[in-house]
Structure 1
Amino acid sequence: MAIDKVKAYFAEFGREGDVMEFPASSATVELAAQAVGCEPARIAKTLSFAVGDRVALVVCAGDARIANPRFKAQFGTKPRMLPAEEAEERIGHAVGGVCPFAVNEGCDVYLDESLRRFDVVYPACGSSNSAIALTPDELAVYTPGSTWVDVCKLPEEGQMDTPTTAAQVS
């Protein structure tokens, strides 16, 4: 199971005990916020995009949405969500539990600036009922090779370019 891979990964840092597992689903931003007990914006959702032959995992705040022009400027292509049926095979985590930890080769992790406004955020941990509390700086440490980007809009920035559905977030 993917959550076991993530727990083993965090064991390398002595943090496996910090992985939270919930009795109910945390597969959407709203469900994760209820399970954790925080505002939805603090959920660090991981969106997966096909970029050439690689997968770009963009970790952003729960209330953020991809800004098409910013995404294209960063990646040189329009955002194209990875189809749900490809997620587990290509990323190593199924939709609902996609996270930036213990991912397969061929995945590049990008942390969106929308996360930096919080002291603590809650990414999933490889299953549809898990999370871990991390500061944005810790998130960067635990996702080696990740890059900070600015490819999202927040609600106060106006109309969203790319709506996301529950099937596309974790």
Structure 2
Amino acid sequence: MAEPATPETRPAPEIASTHPAVEKVRAALVEAGAHDAAAGIRWLDDAATTAALAAQALGVEVGQIANSLVFLLDGEPVLVMTSGAHRVDTGFLGSRLGGTVTRASKDDVHAATGQVIGGVAPVGHSAPVPTYVDEALGRHDVVWAAAGHAKTVFPTSYAELLRITGGTATPVEP
């Protein structure tokens, strides 16, 4: 009789190569003409729920991670793509946008994007979301954004991120 598998001998579970949210992001990237980004979607071994974890997994600077954060601007959802090296100053951003910016709840995030916190991509949402892109991301030739799942990312450029999101460039902190 064979010995039972132990954690050390048990084969690692296979990572799904597709997920409905990831496929929606891939399709949105292709539709936007971002074919290299769509082809570059990468599955990570572990969930990268913070910019630091994503940067570590990719071997890049934390500032190259484009965090997708949903906020409410006067009660309406907006997506803020911020450099992983920054924190969004909601008072500062609100004054720049002419309103009050508050954090969105996980339910608000899902309702606005059709995606879950930790994997929110800049595209592939259930409806258009006004998007603001941190100018600091422009300091990098390549930035990495979530691709619809906490274990997925894709490479892009600052210019392409602005183009595919229809985003507005803005600083997110003073």
Pick the TM interval, shorter chain.
0.7 to 0.9
Q: TM-score, normalised by structure 1?
A: 0.81
Q: 2:107 aligns with which of 85, 88, 96?
A: 85
Structure 2 residues without counterparts, runs of 5 or longer: 1-19
How many residue pairs get matched? 152
> How many Å separate the matches in 2 of 1:4 and 1:146?
22
Q: Where do 4+ consecutive residues of structure 1 move more than 6 Å?
A: none
Which residues in structure 2 correspond to 1:38-49 (within 5 Å)? Answer: 38-49=60-71
Indicate the structure whose relative CO is greater, using CA pairs within 8 Å and at least 6 residues apart.
1
Partner of 2:170: 149
Alignment partners' CA distance in 2, 1:72 and 1:90: 19
Give 5+ residue unaligned stretches, structure 1.
Answer: 154-170
1:127 aligns with 2:149: yes
Partner of 2:169, secondary structure, is strand
Determine whether 1:31 maps to 2:53.
yes
CA drift of 1:106 comes to: 5.1
Q: Report the structure number with the largest CA radius of gyration.
A: 2
Deviations for 1:6-62, whole angstroms, at most 9, x for unmatched residues?
011123333322111112111211211122111212111011101235211110110
Q: Name the counterpart of 1:66.
A: 88
Listed one character per residue, the Cα deviations across residues 82-120 of structure 1 (whole Å, up to 9, x for unaligned) are 012331222111000112111232511111112111111
Aligned counterparts of 1:149 and 1:53: Cα–Cα separation in 2: 20
Query: How well do the aligned residues superpose, as a CA RMSD in angstroms?
Result: 1.7
